[in-house]
Structures are given as C-alpha cells and as structure tokens.
Amino acid sequence: MKKVCYFFALAICFVFAFSGFLSVKSAKVYANENLKVLAFGDSIAAGYAPNVSPYSDLDETDDEVLLQKRQMLDNYVEYYNADYGTFASKSAFSYIFAKNANASATVKSYANSGDTSTDLANLLTQDNYVKTLAETNKEVTILNQKVLNDIKQANVITLCIGANDVLGLAIQTLNQTIQNNQISKLLTGFDDTELSQYSANIQQNVQTFKSNYQNIILPVLCQNSNVYVMTIYNPYRFLGIAENFNGFRQLLQITIDGLNQINKTIRDSANNNVIVIDVATNFSNYSERQYTNYVNVDLSQIDMMSLANMGSGDMPYYFDPHPTPLGQKTIAELYGQSYSQDTTTPISTTVIIVLSIAFGALILSVATYLIFEKLKYKAIKF
C-alpha cells in the first residue's frame, strides 16, 4: 500500500510540474510574439481629435511633403499607410493598445475619417477601389489584393465602425435644415411626417450596417486572426441646454435608438474570433461632469448662432462626438484588457487538457498496478 501511495504522489508532482512548465512556455510565446496590428474603421479609429488636428494649412499634394509637415506637429503623426495614403494619430487607441501590448509591435491603419460600414465593405471587396480620403481630400486607388495580404499577415485586427452610419445622417440632417433656413425647427420641433421619414432613413442605415457587418466585414477580417471590435458610445448622453431645443432632441433620440441597434448587432457577433470591447457600456458609467474628460461633446454650451454656423460646414467644438486623448487612452486600455484575457485563454485550456489526460493516465496506471498486485497475491496464495 505504501508503494501505491508513493507512486501516486510522485505522479501528481510530475503532472503539476509538467503543466507549470507548459503554461510558462506558452506565456513566453505570447510575450515574444511579433505583434502586427491592423486598424480599420472611421475617425475614432484614426485618432482624429479637433484640438490637435493638423488638417488646416496643409495644401500640398505631395505625400512626402505632407508627411514631413505632419511629423513636425506635436502628438500627431506616428504611422503612415503608404498603400492607402492615410495618416493616423499616435493618440489613436489602436496605436496605444498595440504599443502597450508589445513595445516592438507594428501598426498599420486603413481607418479613414467619415467612413461608414459601406465604405469599409467596399474597401474589403472592390478591386481598384477609388476613394477620396478625408484627411488629404485626395483621390486614391486601393488594390484589394494588398488589403487582403495585410489582413493575412496581421495577428490582431482592431475595428471601430458604425457611428457614421447613423450619427453622420444626424449631422447631415442638421446641416440641411439650417441651409434650408429652417433652423427654427430645431427649437420648435419637426412634424410627424418629417420625423417618420428620418426614422425610416435611420432604420435603413441600421439594416445596411447589419448586412455589411455580418456578410462582408467580419467574414473578410476574420480569415486569419481575431478581430477586436468596439461598441459605439453615445456622445450625446447629456443634452444640457439642448433639452430646450425640441427638434434637435427629437433627431438625437431617433439617432441614438439606431446606434443602440448597431451596438446590439456588434455584441451579438461575439465568438471565438470576434472579441467585443463594450466601450459603450463602459462610457455610460461616467457622470455628466466626468463625460467631457472623455468625449469632446459639451451641449451645455449650445446656442443658436453656433448651430447656424453648422450650415456652412463648421461644427462647433462642443458638438464634436470624437473622444478626447484621455478617451482614446481609455479605449486602448479596454482593448488591452480584452487582448490580455484572450491570449491567456489557450494556456488555461492547454493546462486543463494536459491535466485531464495525465490524470486519466495516472488512474489507469494505478488501476493496472493494483490489478497486477492482486493477481500476484492470488498466484502466491494458490
């Protein structure tokens, strides 16, 4: 019996030692991984922030000159996608997340300000896709095969898309209302017919997003690596004085309902290859006083004069829906938490499998030993 106990204890020690070695080895694989992050999406993904944007006074058409000028601007350009012609801020969450995960990580961005899910679907599927970039106002032609090759080489893909499908329509409707000299409607409210038409347009865009996201974007992006996609926060949670602008409030309510539907589509897509970072829920925990630290919007300062200026294309800074640098950093940290949890999962799973197999082998060995001892005892007794 002592031999059995000794054998059992020795086997258990061996199993735990082996599994511990395996888990450490797996952890080193992730720590030393040549991390290649590929970013897709809109202006949030590109790291656009009006307070540091270098878009003005850059009229050069030469990419190299433009790049050099942008590199001179503090806290802005860090990486440039020569294949696409896009520049991305080093304050973009994708860049911060990648460098936090691995200091030697490489980052490439196909994010472009103003992009909708349809723009991204076209980028992923159309060969010789011709597009005018928001940052340079320059027309470029993108080779689809180059995009697909980048997707194959990436081991992490970040995605932020969907905001412009609905918020873009809201801003467009506001501009049209002002340009048509109907700014008073933002105060008094829109009639039922107008609201019904706007709601139908939002719902059409929501369905378009769902189709693009489920049938094109995820199938293409998920071919070789995990996709980390964020839900879209509501930039207009706190209306402030805008509560008194009935028409403005009506449009926002319909718009945010559409945004919530888009977020549901994103949340429902979660699986082993699609990791959802619920930025919307996280940002909803901030108080009104805290919110302006993370998002540029501050509707407590809205007035009719600045709204009128929107008709000429000038968005008041306090209406801007983009995250602040702190907001981008917070989103990056949420991505980092999900990435950390995701990369440790294979280690835990491997350990469980190894332990299960080893334990089964151990039980079989002990049973065999006991049977052998019993047969030997019977043989001696006979």
The CATH number linked to 224 is: 3.40.50.1110
Q: How far apart are CA 262 and CA 272, in angstroms?
A: 20
Question: Does residue 63 lie in a domain region?
Answer: yes
- Residue 68's pLDDT is 44
Q: Residues in the chain with pLDDT < 50?
A: 2, 4, 6-8, 10, 13-32, 51-62, 65-79, 345-351, 377, 379-382
With respect to residue 109, please indicate whether it lies within any of the assigned structural domains: yes
How far is residue 255's CA from residue 198's CA, in Å, rounded to a whole number?
9
CA distances from 241 to 163, 212, 248 (A): 24, 36, 11
> Is 181 a member of any domain?
no
With respect to residue 191, please indicate whether it lies within any of the assigned structural domains.
no
Would you say residue 217 lies in a domain? yes
pLDDT, position 163: 96
362 domain-assigned: no
pLDDT at 66: 46
312: in domain = no
Q: How many domains does the chain have?
A: 1
Backbone angles phi, psi at 154, to 5 degrees: -75, 145
pLDDT of amino acid 289: 86
Residues sharing a CB contact under 8 Å with residue 130, sequence separation 6 or more, in sequence order: 139, 140, 141, 142
Instruction: Please give the pLDDT value at position 311.
Output: 55
Looking at residue 49, what is its pLDDT?
A: 63
Q: Which amino acid is at 115?
A: D
Residue-wise pLDDT for 277-300, tens only, equals: 999 999 999 998 899 889 988 777
pLDDT reported for residue 31: 43
Q: Given the structure tokens 């970039």, which residue do they identify? A: 133
Q: What is the pLDDT of residue 118?
A: 97
Question: Would you say residue 184 lies in a domain?
Answer: no
Query: Residue 53's domain spans which residues?
Result: 34-162+210-244+262-297+317-355
Residue 246's pLDDT is what? 87
Measured between its terminal Cα atoms, the distance across the chain in Å is: 21
The pTM of this model reads 0.75
Per DSSP, helices labelled H in 218-245 are 218-221
